[in-house]
Amino acid sequence: MSELDFYAKVEEILGFDEAKYELYKVFLNKISSLNFKSFKALDFGCGSGEFAKLLAQHFDVTCVDKSEQMVKICLSKGLNAKCVDLSNFNCDFDLITASFDVVNYIKNLDEFLKDASNALKNGGYLLFDVNSYFGFNDVAQGVLHQKDGENHLIVDAIFDDNILESEFIYFKKDSSKYSKFSKVIKQYYHPKTNFKSRENLELLSCEDLNLYGYEKSDKWLLCFQKAV
C-alpha cells in the first residue's frame, strides 16, 4: 500500500473535520472575490472530493489525486476524477485549488508552481494553503491518539530541519486480535520568502490564517494569478 493510499485509509479518523471545513469556507470566500470570465477548475490533491463537491456548485471541476483510492471515492460521488500529474495539463483551467495541507507534501515548490502556471489559462488563479512555521513546530508536532471503535490510530510527528516526519501506526481489530499497519509520511515547511511573483505568475496575496485557536497564525493562504 502506498503512503497516499494508507493516508486515505486513516484520514477520517484524524479528527480534523472542523478545521478542514473552516478552511473550505475561507477558500470559497476568497474565490468569490476573484474575477472569472469562465468557470473551469482543477482541484489538485482532491482527496475524497469534499471540497470539490462545494466547488462544483459554481465551477466545472476536474479532480486530481495521486492516490488511486481517493480517485475511486471521488468517482463514486459523481465527480470527474483522475489519477494523473499536474504536468499533464496545459492552459486548461481558470482556477486551480489545493486545499488543506496538499502543498505541505510537495518538496519541490518551484516545480509545482511551474506546472500550475502551465495548467492555468492566461488570467487564471492558483489558490492554496501551507503551514506556517508555528503551524508545524507548535501545532502539528507531537503525538496524536485517535480511536475508531476498537481500532486505534497513533501519529508521532517530529519537526526538524524544516521537515515534519510523521509516523502513522494503525491498529485494526480483527475478531480477537489486532493487525498493525504503519507508514512514515513527510511534509515540508516553505518559508514566506519562497512565495513571490515569478515569470507569468503574480503573487496577489499571502494571508495569515488561524484554524486552531492560537494567537499566532498556523497557516497562510496564497493566491497567484497567471499573466493575461
pLDDT score at 228? 87
Reduce the DSSP state of residue 129 to 3 states and report it.
strand
**pLDDT given for residue 217 in this prediction:** 97
Place of cell 493562504: 221
**Residues 6 or more apart in contact with residue 62 via CB below 8 angstroms:** 40, 41, 42, 43, 80, 81, 82, 93
Three-state SS string over 134-193 comes to HHHHHHHCEEEEEEECCEEEEEEEEEECCEEEEEEEEEEEECCEEEEEEEEEEEECCCHH
Instruction: Write out the chain's pLDDT in tens, 228 residues.
Output: 777 778 877 888 888 899 999 999 999 999 999 999 999 999 999 999 999 999 999 999 999 999 998 999 999 999 999 999 999 999 899 999 999 999 999 999 999 999 999 999 999 999 999 999 999 999 999 999 999 899 999 999 999 999 999 999 999 998 889 999 999 999 999 999 999 999 899 999 999 999 998 999 999 999 999 998
Q: What is the pLDDT of residue 107?
A: 96
- pLDDT (0 to 100) of residue 4: 76
Whole-number pLDDT of residue 37: 92
- 39: cell is 468557470
Fold of 3-132+191-226: Rossmann fold (3.40.50)
- Tracing cell 516526519 back to the chain, one arrives at 165
Using DSSP bridges, classify how beta strands 177-188 and 151-160 pair: parallel, antiparallel or unpaired. Answer: unpaired
Distance CA 216, CA 219 (A): 9
CATH 2.20.25.110 fits 135-188, yes or no: yes
Say if residues 186 and 4 touch (Cβ distance below 8 Å). no
Domain boundaries, the chain: 3-132+191-226, 135-188
- Decide: pTM greater than 0.75: yes
CB 116 within 8 A of CB 102: no
Q: Are 147 and 172 in contact (CB under 8 A)?
A: no
Output the pLDDT for position 96. 98
Residue 157, pLDDT score: 98
pLDDT of residue 91: 87
What pLDDT is recorded for position 15?
86
